[in-house]
Amino acid sequence: MAVDVPLDLGWVSDIDGKRVEVNSPDRRHDGLLKKLGGRKSWLRTIWDLRFRSDGELAEILTALRDAGFAFAGEEAGWPPTEIFLDLRKRGLVSGPYREITWLGPGRPILIDHSADGSGPETD
């Protein structure tokens, strides 16, 4: 189900190698991001979180999901939403999650995915 996107929504914008990139425009998440080992980049809203294993990645993604962060979805490559799905299929994370994607510049949408993996939730 697509829902309106709050202006202060944070999202996982990229996962590559051993790094999770998080866009967090709201400073209320700074404590959590620091606790997860995050370092703020020179871009004021971007955080880098390092991990060494799939288990650590699962812990990071679960904490971000529980805090309300969305996971970027894209048409090509292996976006964060697909990585979260892969970890869920392997039993490393569980539960529902939110995907963020864009219809165009300044036009983000959120898609809530169900806990059972059956796809987007519907009303």
* Domain count for the chain: 1
In a domain, 57, yes or no: yes
pLDDT of residue 1: 56
Helices (H), the chain: 30-35, 54-66, 80-89
The confidence band for 94, taking pLDDT boundaries of 50, 70 and 90, is very high
User: Mean pLDDT throughout 27-56?
Assistant: 91
pLDDT of residue 32: 94
The confidence band for 44, taking pLDDT boundaries of 50, 70 and 90, is confident
In a domain, 79, yes or no: yes
CA proximity to 17, closest of 75, 55, 57, 69: 57
The C-alpha atoms of residue 76 and residue 88 are separated, in whole angstroms, by 20
Beta partners for residue 16, in sequence order: 19
21: containing domain: 2-113
Residue 71 near residue 57, CB atoms below 8 Å:
no
The pTM is what? 0.67
In a domain, 36, yes or no: yes
In a domain, 61, yes or no: yes
In a domain, 123, yes or no: no
pLDDT reading at 99 higher than 60 = yes
pLDDT of residue 79: 87
The confidence band for 122, taking pLDDT boundaries of 50, 70 and 90, is very low
In a domain, 118, yes or no: no
Q: How many CA atoms lie within 13 A of 56 on its CB side?
A: 13
pLDDT of residue 57: 95
CA proximity to 114, closest of 77, 88, 80, 78: 88
